């Protein structure tokens, strides 16, 4: 299994960053490059504990579907989304939001993932996914940062 952390500092209060992070439309905006769409479950508005959403996106020229469930949520401190059906053998994404002491937020993403297909999946992880997945989360966070800091 693979694990990575991404830390992003935002000039916005934790409550706003937390809410934006659970907003379907904000997520779609952050993943526009992959043509991501919400195609099942909660497809608009704010996600909450127990909600699921099915995302459809194109990565590596292949269209993927991934259904995630919000399995933990404590506003405005953290939430967890986990894949319940999709391309990964495991996907667990914990989002943490902490006041930085200066009216801003330190946002930390902790992602654990594993590709399917045993040895072939391990090759995909080493060759591509271990670099691609953190970049995807960084892209998402830069979108959040830009949208929240300009309001």
What's the domain range around 75?
A: 2-149
- pLDDT tens string 97-139: 999 999 899 999 999 999 999 999 999 999 999 999 999 999 9
Q: Which of 84, 35, 79, 42 is nearest to 57 (CA)?
A: 35
Q: What is the pTM of this model?
A: 0.95
Report the CATH number that the domain containing residue 132 is assigned in CATH: 3.30.530.20
Give 150's pLDDT tier (boundaries 50, 70, 90): confident
Q: Which of 60, 58, 65, 105 is nearest to 88 (CA)?
A: 65
Number of domains the chain contains? 1
In this predicted structure, the answer to whether residue 151 has a pLDDT above a threshold of 70 is: no
Rounded (10°) CA dihedral 143, 137, 134, 124: -120
Give 148's pLDDT tier (boundaries 50, 70, 90): very high
Is 107 exposed, middle or buried, given 0-12, 13-18 or 19+ CB atoms closer than 10 A? Answer: buried
- pLDDT tens string 40-97: 999 999 999 999 999 999 999 999 999 999 999 999 999 999 999 999 999 999 999 9
């Amino acid at each position: 299994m693979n694990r990575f952390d991404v830390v992003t500092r935002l000039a916005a209060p934790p409550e706003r960053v937390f809410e934006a992070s659970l907003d379907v439309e904000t997520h779609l905006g952050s993943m526009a490059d992959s043509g991501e769409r919400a195609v099942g479950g909660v497809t608009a508005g704010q996600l909450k504990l127990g909600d699921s959403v099915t995302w459809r996106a194109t990565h590596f020229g292949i269209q993927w579907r991934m259904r995630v469930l919000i399995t933990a949520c404590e506003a405005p401190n953290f939430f967890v989304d986990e894949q319940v059906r999709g391309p990964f053998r495991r996907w667990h994404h914990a989002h943490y939001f902490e006041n930085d002491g200066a009216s801003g937020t330190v946002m930390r993403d902790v992602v654990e993932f594993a590709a399917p297909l045993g040895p072939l999946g391990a090759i995909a992880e080493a060759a591509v996914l271990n670099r691609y997945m953190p970049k995807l989360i960084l892209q998402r966070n830069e979108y959040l940062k830009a949208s929240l800091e300009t309001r």
